[in-house]
Chains A and B, each alone.
Chain A
Amino acid sequence: MKGDKLYVFLFLTPAFIITGIFLYYPFVENILQSFYKTDGFFNSTFIGLDNYVRLWNDEIAREALFNSLELMLYVTIFQVGIALILAIMVNAITKGTGFYRTTFFFPIVISGAAIGLLFTLIYNYRNGLLNEILVNLGLERVLWLTEQSSLYMVAIPTIWNYVGFYFVILLTAIQKIPDDFYEAAALEGITGVQKMFKLTIPLIVSDLKTCIVLAITGTLKIFELVYIITRGGPGSSSEVLGTYMYQKAFEDTAMGYGATIAVLIVVLGLTLAFITNKLLQKEEVTY
């Protein structure tokens, strides 16, 4: 459209000024810090790329990276997947929609600290809910958080906690689909499950893409639940980039190295989001 340039400028400027000053600029400072060995305030020595070299050789960071990627895979598939199924189901019923919409939202409003405590009390070895059930059934106690299982044990609450978030976004998206699309499809004889894949999903693909990007970026930042439930342990079997960065920057006052991990998080997330976008590009349907 003619004259768009002016509007593009007018519409985008306020948003990018605010984020520029209060989000991008601080992050640029963060990038600069990653070239220093510093506590962030008083002692800082320029060390060039040493932090990056260290990150490259850091075994714990590597484990945290792979754990984050594994967690991201589960989260993206199950969180968005379950949310999509639930949204389609809720959309298909008439009675009780309000009830489900409200209850599915519950876990999101409770702070991570509380959800963390809840799951700690479920997994706990001596007094946890799961082991109490086992003992009552006359069985032996099970150690739920082991080096092999801990990542799955934190994946469960992580996935469950935010399903409601994607559910709300996707339900909103599904409800915008105009009826005549379905009518036309029905005339062409497309019915049943086919419809879900050939019609509903293609029509909300841009919203799904948003959800996947949000899931990827969200998982890379995961901190609180993991920190409370397993503290990244046992060993570093459930350490993720978010917890490792917090530990370095805040518990260990190694701000420079923490900043380096933050840079890794951003670069990694951008790359993955870019790849996802490219993969889904083909399937995008414009009306």
Chain B
Amino acid sequence: MKQFKWSLLLVLLFVLIGLVACSNDESGSTPVDSDDNSDSAEETDADTEEASGEVDLRVVTTMAGTDPAGEVFQEVLDEFVSENPHVTIENDSQSADAGTIRTKVNTDFSSDNEPDIMFYFNTIDAEGIIEEGKVVNLEEAEDIDLSGFNSMLEQQRHSDGNIYAAPQSGFYEGLFVNEKLFEEQGIELPTTWEKYEAAIKAFAETDIVPIAASTEDSYYVVEHYALAAGGMENYSAELADQNPAWAEGLDNIKKHADMGAFTPDAATIDLAMAQELFKQEQAAMIFEGSWLWGQLEEAEMGEDVTVLPMPVYADGGETGEIVGGASQGWFISTKSYEDEARHDAVVDLFNYLTSEEVIVRIAGATGQPPAKGALEGLPAYLEGGHQLISDAPAVALPINDRIYPEAFTHMRTSVPEIVSGNKTGEQVLQEAVEMEE
């Protein structure tokens, strides 16, 4: 009996080893594996490519998983391949939720394994890759077409004055309000700071939570309170300035928390739970981004909700200024651009992906404002959001896209302590500055 078990196990082992070996052989001849890294393999690759004109491209994007653009993106790629039969494309996209994409992209770029084209965060996340010269300066690349973009292109300009990424679509953040609840309670919409505070007070007396928020994952809350206290000019300040408006904003969060603006467990819920409060109509307001619309539509409450710009009370500031823009863009890796065998295919694919037609198609899947052209036939509430952007006197990216991540994490995760009175806004800001140094 025992012997039988062991021979069974041995057989299994061999079968598995066989399977593994076979599958490796197989994949050796399929596109999965053929973007080889060993030098010799690359040479032979290049040789065969030159001879036959066949090119195999690897594209990395975040359009996968729950991102509704994923499906459209794959269709778009398939169409390109059918029109350019000498090109095969490996779509190595991975949803950004999983948190592994940064690790993967950074390791790829630092291990000589970069993708040919990628759609990635053109924020502090790409800083290292850009500084190492791993991606192409698009303005200097002759055959790259950068025409027809709206202001989102300018927003991609890096601190060294060059543009390394072409935008796809933008987003905006704002104060999402449930109009229906405001009406039912007879409360005025928070179009000014005074009305905003009045609304918090009024809702705090009802069973409805004024603002659904996580004070730990307080990205949007922190940003908007800084904007309200300082207007765009102060909002755009460097962290090192220790702008007093930022500190004032942080202290305002405590002031409003004491007025009963948040749920008692705001320090431990996450963004998803805060969204649930809003979607179940247990909360009247929430600071969020334009991606929330997809969820609101699913909850069948798009019609009841409207998005407002953060009311700004600062001198010199103006209500209507918004946080938003395009934080992701299309990059070309220098290695592929300079590789003669791949150059043409890479450029073609890039120009195709950033053409108005494709940009609008992908944006259509998510309802976000496109970087070229416009979406048509949108529901009124989405239209309102797009209007918000085009009417805005000033648009700036979220704070965490431009400052040192550790410093921002410290700011946002310290909000519960500010709320509990253990720290002041100024103190937290001071500590964050020290982290950046």
Contacts and interface: CB of A to CB of B under 8 A. Distances in A.
Contacts of A143: 264-265
Interface stretch (B102-110, B138-146, B185-193): B102-110
Interface string B126-143: 011101100000000000
Contact of A124 (B132, B273, B406): B273
Interface string B98-132: 01001100110110000000000000010111011
A158 to B, nearest CB: 16
B430 interface: no
A250 B100 CA distance: 9
Interface string B417-437: 100101000000000000000
Contacts of A217: none
A150 B125 CA distance: 33
Given A248-B406, A252-B405, A41 B268 contact: no
A235 B264 contact: no
Nearest to B267: A234
A41 B109 contact: yes
B284 interface: no
Nearest to A128: B265
Nearest to A42: B128
Contacts of A235: 267, 416-417, 420, 422
A230 B128 contact: no
A120 interface: yes
Contacts of A78: none
Contact of B263 (A41, A125, A247): A125
Interface in A34-52: 39-43
B416 A233 contact: yes
Interface centre among A127, A232, A253, A254, by most chain B C-beta atoms within 10 angstroms, is: A253
A150 B267 CA distance: 11
Given A150-B268, A252-B406, A39 B128 contact: yes
Nearest to B103: A250
Interface string A68-111: 00000000000000000000000000000000000000000000
Interface string A229-271: 1111111100000000001101111100100000000000000
Interface in A218-237: 228-236
A124 B265 contact: yes
B50 to A, nearest CB: 32
Contacts of A120: 269, 273
A39 B129 CA distance: 12
B273 A42 contact: no
A145 interface: yes
Contacts of B88: none
B131 A42 contact: yes
A126 interface: yes
B279 to A, nearest CB: 12
Contacts of B223: none
Chain B interface size, under 10 / 10 to 19 / 20 to 34 / 35 or more: 35 or more
Nearest to A44: B128
A254 B99 CA distance: 15
A42 B217 CA distance: 28
B395 interface: no
Interface centre among B125, B217, B413, by most chain A C-beta atoms within 10 angstroms, is: B413
Contacts of A234: 216, 267-268, 416, 420
Contacts of B303: none
Contact of A233 (B106, B267, B276, B280): B267
A233 B268 contact: yes
A251 B216 CA distance: 14
A41 B128 CA distance: 8
Interface centre among A125, A144, A248, A257, by most chain B C-beta atoms within 10 angstroms, is: A125
A144 B422 CA distance: 21
Interface string B264-284: 110111100100110010100
Contacts of A145: 265, 267-268
Contacts of B405: 251-254
Contacts of B282: 126-127
A150 B129 CA distance: 40
Contacts of B107: 41
Nearest to A248: B406
Contact of A247 (B264, B269, B409, B417): B409
A125 B131 CA distance: 47
Nearest to B282: A126
B407 to A, nearest CB: 9
A238 to B, nearest CB: 8
A42 B110 contact: yes
A125 B406 contact: no
A126 B420 contact: no
B217 A41 contact: no
Contacts of A127: 276, 280, 282
A207 to B, nearest CB: 23
Interface in A132-185: 143-145, 147, 150
A232 B277 CA distance: 21
Contacts of A253: 102, 125, 405-406
A231 B217 contact: yes
Nearest to A228: B270
Interface centre among A120, A144, A233, A254, by most chain B C-beta atoms within 10 angstroms, is: A233
Contacts of B417: 235
A20 to B, nearest CB: 21
A277 to B, nearest CB: 33
B229 to A, nearest CB: 24
Given A125-B265, A231-B216, A42 B129 contact: yes
A126 B416 contact: no
Given A124-B265, A247-B409, A257-B406, 20 more contacts: A39-B106, A39-B128, A40-B106, A41-B107, A41-B109, A43-B127, A43-B128, A125-B265, A229-B268, A231-B217, A231-B268, A231-B270, A233-B267, A233-B413, A233-B416, A234-B267, A235-B416, A248-B406, A251-B405, A253-B102
25 contacts: A41-B106, A41-B109, A41-B110, A42-B129, A43-B127, A124-B269, A125-B263, A126-B265, A126-B277, A126-B282, A127-B282, A143-B265, A229-B268, A232-B216, A233-B267, A233-B268, A250-B102, A251-B405, A252-B405, A252-B406, A253-B102, A253-B405, A253-B406, A254-B405, A257-B406
Shortest 6 CB-CB contacts between residues of A and residues of B: A42-B128, A234-B267, A252-B406, A125-B265, A41-B106, A145-B268
